[in-house]
Structure 1
Amino acid sequence: MPDYYLHTINARQALEAIAKGLSSVRLSVDLNISEREFSLSDQGLVLDEDNLLSIDELKKIVKKTQRIYLCSDGDMFPLEDRSSGYYKLVPTTGAPLLEISGVKMHISKGTDPFTSASEMAQQAVHKGDKVLDCCSGLGYAAIAAHRLGASEVLTIELSPEVMGLRAQNPWSKDLDKDGIVQRQGSSFELIKTMPSISFDAVVHDPPRFSLAGELYSEEFYREIYRVLRRDGQLFHYTGNPHVVKKGSSFVDGVIRRLKSAGFRNVEKVEHLMGVRAQK
């Protein structure tokens, strides 16, 4: 059965069209990937013969501005996981972003999460590269690396909750393509099991320091250095645009530890809130 993704914007479009007495409305129900025409009635929005959203259901969706609802098999439920913490997908004008316990996991201001993740991949990845993607989240950087022509992408994500959400995210479907390998586990632990000089590029997008300080340690940076081939590239997201721009003990510490681990040409990339480096 097809899945339909509804949020404030497209639910409001449907309600406005019903109020005007229109018989159909053009909507994106795959989170801005494509648009289709759907029938309307005075009862609500007809997605297909098994999925009709009533006016009350559409009004409920409109009120929840930071939530995405999945409609399938006649059911409607939010794309979230509350089993440990609060994980959810949040709508944007492009690809959805991941939010964990109220903290947004992507750059989305003035851009959308897929675009910013693609720009991160472009900082390090070239055609033919073998790429390691640490802390992959919804997998946007891994997909971008694959589209840039990477020969192979190994992507690691610790959280089973995040992996569950990305399995339901239309923008993450390309993770199933040949050439992308998904692993669930700790980047800090798994990188130790990898052969030396086995990657051409690494994209490292860790959670904030307070949640995963080990992923900002010199020990971990030495492991990235070890698995990179000569002249291999690293892009490391550090977060907080003001801190990256002005310089701070935190970002300066990241740069200092990268240099201690052996990296050269270490420089801030302000608009992506991160640091680029070369082996």
Structure 2
Amino acid sequence: MPNYYLHTTNAKQALEAIAKGQSCVRISVDLNISEQDFSLSDQSLVLDEDNRLSIDELKKIVKKTQRIYLCSDGDMVPLEDRSRGYYKLAPTAGSPLLEISGVKMHISKGTDPFVSASEMAKQAVRKGDKVLDCCSGLGYAAIAAHRLGASEVLTIELSPEVMGLRAQNPWSNDLGKEGIVQRQGSSYELIRTMDAASFDSVIHDPPRFSLAGELYSEEFYRQIFRVLRRDGRLFHYTGNPHVIKKGSSFVDGVIRRLKAAGFKNIVKVEHLMGVSAQKK
């Protein structure tokens, strides 16, 4: 059954085309991966035989500017999960971003969530690497690592709600490719079960400190150090560009704990709101 993703931008395009009396409209229904033509008939956007959106339905989508609707099998539902907290995918000009209880989980200002995650992967990953991706979210960094030529990527996500949303996100489809292993669970706990010196690079993109302080602890950094091979590389997202620039006590604390765990060559990467480090 085909899935169609509608949000403010493409719903507006359809409404404008209907208002002009056009017989078809060219829009993206896979969240900006591609575009195709759809017919306009009886004042409706016709996606296929089972999925037609009236002017009223399109106007409803336009009003909800930070929401993505999944149209499939004659239904139209927002891409969100309210079972524990409020998890949703929000539209951008490129790939969608993950929002949890109103907090954006990606760098999106002036860039695209997939692009910024790819830049994070480039800080650590080299061709042929075996990669550990902690706190993977929608899996963008894991996919980027795979595209950079990683031999294997182990990607860990704690939240079943996030894993459910990413299963519906077309930008996350490549997580199903050979060479990427997805695990659901706590990075803090699972890393202890991993062999020493088993990864060439680690991407660590945890939730903010107030939500997961243990993932910023010296104890966890020691575990990352343990599972990295010699000359292994880490990129650690820490958040807030102003904090990084000023060298706040928080980022300084992260750097101190990384040093205490054994890391060398620790460098602030301001545009990605994080730090890179190496196991010598």
After TM superposition, the score normalised by the length of structure 1 is 1.00
Deviation at residue 137 of structure 1 after TM alignment:
0.1
Alignment match, 2:54? 54
Deviation at 1:109, TM superposition (A): 0.3
Where do 1:115-134 residues align within 5 Å? 115-134=115-134
Instruction: State the 1:43 CA deviation.
Output: 2.5
Structure 2 partner of 1:79: 79
Query: 1:52 is matched by which residue type in structure 2?
Result: R
Report what 1:89 is aligned to.
89
Q: Distance in 2 between matches of 1:46 and 1:245?
A: 50
Q: Which residue of 2 aligns with 1:5?
A: 5
Show the 5 A alignment for 1:155-234.
155-234=155-234
Unaligned runs of 5+ in 2: none
Per-residue deviation, 1:178:
0.1
2: CA distance between counterparts of 1:244 and 1:120?
15
Q: CA deviation at 1:42?
A: 3.2
Matches of 2:15 and 2:115, distance apart in 1: 30
Structure 1, unmatched stretches of 5+, are none
Contact 1:67 1:91 in 2 (8 A): yes
Q: Distance in 2 between matches of 1:157 and 1:150?
A: 19
1:230-241 equivalences under 5 Å are 230-241=230-241
Hey, what's the Cα distance between the residues in 1 that align with 2:60 and 2:41?
18
**Separation of aligned partners in 2, 1:54 and 1:25:** 14
Aligned residues of 1:18 and 1:42 also touching (Cα < 8 A): no
What are the Cα deviations for residues 154-204 of structure 1, in whole angstroms up to 9, with x where unaligned? Answer: 000000000000000000000000000000000000000000000000000
Give structure 1 regions of 4+ aligned residues with deviation exceeding 3 angstroms: none
Query: By how many angstroms is 1:223 displaced?
Result: 0.2
Matched residue type, 1:131: V
Query: With structure 2 as the length reference, what TM-score do the two structures score?
Result: 0.99
Aligned counterpart, 1:26: 26
Q: Distance in 2 between matches of 1:43 and 1:18?
A: 6
Shift of 1:41: 1.6
* Aligned residues between the structures: 279
Identity of aligned residues (%): 87
Q: State the partner residue of 2:147.
A: 147
Kindly provide the CA deviation profile for residues 77-113 of structure 1, in whole angstroms up to 9, marking residues without a partner as x: 0000000000000000000000000000000000000
Contact 1:157–1:183, Cα closer than 8 Å, also in 2 = yes
Asked if structure 2 preserves the Cα contact closer than 8 Å seen for 1:138 and 1:172, the reply is yes
CA RMSD of aligned residues (A): 0.3
Question: Structure 2 CA distance, aligned partners of 1:236 and 1:75?
Answer: 40
1:244 aligns to what SS in structure 2?
Answer: helix
CA distance in 1, matches of 2:51, 2:210: 43
Structure 2 match to 1:250: 250
In 1, Cα distance between the equivalents of 2:83 and 2:77?
Answer: 15
Query: Aligned equivalents of 1:80 and 1:185: distance in 2?
Result: 21
SS in 2 for 1:181: strand
Where do residues 57-68 of structure 1 align in structure 2 (5 Å cutoff)? 57-68=57-68
**Post-superposition offset of 1:19:** 0.1
Contact 1:197 1:228 (8 Å CA) reproduced: yes
> Within 2, Cα distance between the matches of 1:158 and 1:54?
39
